[in-house]
Structure 1
Amino acid sequence: MKATWEKIEKNLGVLEVEVEAERVSAALDKAFQKVVKKANVPGFRKGKVPRSIFEARYGVESLYQDAIDILLPEVYGEAVDETDIFPVDRPEVDIEQFGKGQPFKFKAKITVKPEVKLGEYKGVEVPAVSVEVTEEEMNAELERLQQRHAELVVIDDEAAKNGDTVVIDFDGSVDGVPFEGGKAERYSLELGSNTFIPGFEDQVVGLATGDFKDVTVTFPETYHAEELAGKEAVFKVKVHEIKRKELPELDDEFAKDVSEFDTLAEFKEDLKKQIEARKEQEGKATRESALVDKIGENAEVEIPEAMIQGEVQNMVRDFDNRLHAQGMNLDMFLNFSGQTIDDLKAQMQGDAEKRVRNNLVLEQIAKAEKIEATEEEVNKELADMAEAYKRTPEDIRNILAANGSLGSLNEEILLRKTIEFLLENSKEVPAEQLEAAKAKEESKPAAKKTTKKSTKAEAKADADKTDEEESKDAE
């Protein structure tokens, strides 16, 4: 097999491949074995038709498409490896020659992973993050714990307000006609959670137990169900019960209930250490994000649209998985939020492009610095995953290999090591200092422009002065 690669523009090129006639013949044999099982020829059982009789009846050309389907993926992969390119989208294949006794020739127009021209990536300044725990942060954490351990107490003599949970019946209709999903009984709704159509929860606020009310709302224009989008709906609502959170007292009993400590003082001391550790992790994540973004901005790379759209698909899939972990799914989310899948993808577009850019830049830095994922590091990662999932490392390796994800594990380790390398070679500076430097940098173009005007003015003055002197000499 012969394969040549020629770049025609930016990230687009043409792969030309020529495959030996012997391999074409072998592919035709495989195609015949596949097709003959279904061939109906009088006097022969299916699968027993001789090759010569089959070709005489149907023609050898009837095998060509199946043979191409068998041979093309195989030789395409070999040609990609041979020319050392990295396709990022489906190729546009043009079959130039395929026939019995002939070489197989085709061209494939391919979008490949772009080249990255690195900018500054060592000594990059990142914001220093304080891990000191403020009184406000401590109080907020304690309040969060109180909220988590609060009890819902039934309120009989007060009207519902934001933060309360109301148990309601509702029955919705548009122009007097009920619609699917518009009815429920004894539904628990937390007011202020914004889980219902805008305006619904606000109209339930102020109702008391036993009250009835017609709640009128308008579905968003972008609502996923087209038959309801922009329509006005009326919900007949009955309030069965109102429940309000009752927060526990912050005392030693509370500390015993939520921790292993006997006193509130001991618990608060431990809580402070936990917050410090969390802030340290968050601070590291902040530094990493700022560092990678800045290094990505310093680099030059033209990203193919196919890579961005592929990352958008990955982000949608990850989002759906997170929703499933919370007992929801993507359709439910779109239903509640009144968005379409295209709306969601459009929101993810910018982040997807940044992710692709940053990953490409990190890969290039890893190559430049000869950073690699060692076998020991891969084995440790597999061991950690095995412990988490109560399986053996070999089981995890086989599962990842079967899913085609073993290479992704190597890439994750490589990217993580590259980011650690960049952090070690970065400079932490106060955030306010970075802001001042950024403001100064943003003012530079204006300064240059002013300088340019000044230089022009000086040049004109010099020219005028020269003309004046020449005039005097002439006199």
Structure 2
Amino acid sequence: MQITTNKIDSANAKINAAITRGTIDANIESIAKQIAREAKVAGFRKGKTPISAVKKQYGERLVQDAEAQALRDLLTAGLKEMAIAADSLIGEPNITKFEKDDNGINVEVVIATRPAITLGDYAAMVPEVSKPAIDDAAVTARIEELASAQAPLVNVDEDRALVSGDTALIDFEGFVDGEAFEGGKAEGFSLRLGSGQFIPGFEDQVIGMKKGDEKTIDVTFPENYGGAKLAGKPAQFKVKVNAIQMKEAVVINDELAKKMLPGYDDANVAMLKEKVKEQLESEAMSVKYNDELKPALMETFVSAFAIDLPEFIVEQEMDMALNKKAREMSEAELEELRNDAEKVKAMRETFRDDACRAVKATFIVDALAKAENVVVNEQELMQTIYFEAMQMGQDPAAVYKHYQESGYLPAIQMAMIEDRVLSKLLNDKIKEA
């Protein structure tokens, strides 16, 4: 077997080989002898089967196994010649040529390996992170918001108009084309103004009414309203305000602190403000990290590092992007593409730059994760998917199984690793406000 190797770069290589007829025949003989020793063939005792009987029974399968063995041998030999470790391969080797003739088989195998990445002083590329400054007014506002959400409603005795934030106890009845419709009537209904519970425009017209007022409100049901009979229809609602309620006034004192910090026996206003301030800082940092710092840092790394990219992975990424685009196209657009191969090819090529960036980012994150000892094991991956599924009201086991069967788990795991790596690098550069 004659082998020629070509190590294109640190991520791509080719092996060309001429597998002779003699090599295939020798492999057939070897495999047949092994089968003769181990297999049970009808009419013969185990281990006593003649080679000729094995060849007759297994025929074409022997040839296929012999060719497969030759391919494995040439791959092993080629990797050894190029000093490429088998565990550095990415994906399965791609057989791009397999031409058989009477003399044997001409083969070309394309392989991809994990590219070499020299990170250097990557920590120096991470900017200093300023911890957000949270003022006392923001802390007080959050405490009042949290306390108000749990505060009871109290009746407003003064003679005043309803304002946004109030709760109105109302009777109403709705009419379309002068006729009352099913589900359009209620008595003593509690409506918090500004909540968006009702049809757009309804709450705005209740604002300004007083206790005892009656009014006819004109609105139009949205086009996408659930009931087909009402969707897009103009309607009139007869409304009467029976009472006005508002949240009980919040008093920030030690008693409130004890209610809001049940795990702390010595809770007081100062502790409550400190805990709320920490929460606000965490929320602000999370927004800053996700919307600004992490994307910018990833872009810095992608621009800074020069990496050889495994070509077949880039091609796979382009194919996925093309398929996603196709799912968003109309049937007419798809039909046009089916009849124009060159247009499909041109469209696919438009995804190359983004595909290269995505693949490059993946390898950078992988290298950084190794340098920073960041891992996400299978248990953590499952826990994250289960938790998010429960938050969405979905069956966690079913969601996990769907991701598993669709091949999404590696991508989710890599996204988690990227998030942890970037967070760790940024956390190391935090300075107090």
- The TM-score, its normalising length taken from structure 1, stands at 0.44
TM-score (normalizing by structure 2):
0.48
